[in-house]
Amino acid sequence: MTLLRVIQPEEVSRELKPVVRGEVLDQARAIVDRVRVEGLDAIRAFADQFGECSPDQPIVLGREAMRAAYDELDSDDRDALERAAQRIERFANAQRDAIQPLTLDVPGGKAGHTIEPVQSAGCYAPAGRYPLPSSVLMTGITARAAGCGRVVVASPGANPVALAAAHIAGADEFLCIGGAHAIAALAYGFKGFQRCDVIAGPGNAWVTAAKQLVTGIVGIDMLAGPSELLIIADDSADVETLAADLLAQAEHDTDAVPILVTTCASHAESIQAELESQLETLPTSETARVALNNGFVVVGESIDQVIEISDALAPEHLEIITRDADRVASRVRNAGGVFIGSRTAEVLGDYGIGPNHTLPTGGTARFQSGLSVMHFLRLRTWIRIDEPIACEPALDDTMRIARMEGLIAHERSAQRRVPD
């Protein structure tokens, strides 16, 4: 039985799909509009409809509830989350430190930029079959490292593990809802809850559609669709490892997309048998089998063609399991996160070895970066003119260009600064 379809290189372009489907966008729009108009009443109705919290339970929890969940968590689980949090924070702090203010000489004065965090960050974490505390850590810690004054975590159902992770991340509030109505609540606010400035974090199709709808009302990190893994391999790659990594991706959910692009023709057949063998003992095999149908295997004629295929797909996660993997990685242009060499499992990125696991999907890695402190920062530029005589040539150019554009008030404004 073929678990992963085998397709030809020329068929790859047909596999590119939009991140947000039209019918989902329409459904999400109805939810978002209702929350925008009705506020808390709509949020309560959706929370009850989706079994997130009953009418007598609070929608928003504070630090005390998060701390209580943390205290009650199994100590070994708590320690693992703390260690992951420390690695995530170390990487995020290093990113923040790499972004510096700028001061530059300009004619007659100085110009530059300052770095300003947004005040309020909304951090979304899914909770479908299982809570995802890793997403709570990835979003909340990154917002804190950026310097946000208020961090809100939203996750459906207020699972104790998610609450504990929110405490570790330093969240101020916990919104006990999910889906499109949670995104709308973060974007518009409601009675007793202030809106956020930026919304970040992965989610299902309705979450992603809602993020698209509120863009411009708030900032968002990206439109993240179903999770993807593409493995570039050659004949040196171990098939058991390839199968294990593809299944780790496939068990995410039934929409996940596992892909193998290889120069080794025998992989197209051997991977099928190995996947079947590992599925026999995998507790999440039912989900993984469905997800494997979304993926495929492509056999390329050369490493050059394999890299070209990968760049065309611009995957969320890219593993490179080849000889001289560093050289291959240096030639790749489009990927959300790159995992170099056979020892570098993509799952290390999922669970907090350092870089963020919230990454662009659906080919958007061609122009979009993964979540970082930059999503919560603004570069605010400034100019100060101290020496009008030295600035005079720039004023003359300003006046001439203003006349070219027919903006005479602009010309006159500049003229006022010309020294006598």
Active-site residue, selected from the candidate residues 316, 319, 346, 375: 316
Q: How far is CA 42 from CA 61, 184, 214, 362, in A?
A: 18, 10, 17, 31
Active-site residue, selected from the candidate residues 317, 319, 346, 375: 317
The Cα 175–Cα 189 span in angstroms is 11
Are 357 and 132 in contact, with CB atoms under 8 Å apart? Answer: no
What the block records as the tokens of 23 is 């019918």
The Cα 405–Cα 399 span in angstroms is 10
What the block records as the tokens of 324 is 């001289």
What the block records as the tokens of 385 is 């003119």
Taking alpha carbons only, the member of 147, 95, 151 closest to residue 354 is: 95
Residue 115: strand pairing partners = 379
The Cα 20–Cα 202 span in angstroms is 13
The Cα 231–Cα 274 span in angstroms is 16
DSSP string, 229-297: EEEEE-TTS-HHHHHHHHHHHHTS-TT-EEEEEES-TTHHHHHHHHHHHHHTT-TTHHHHHHHHTT-EE
Q: 316 an active-site residue?
A: yes
Q: How many helices (H) and strands (E) does the chain have?
A: 16, 15
- Write out the catalytic residue numbers: 316-317
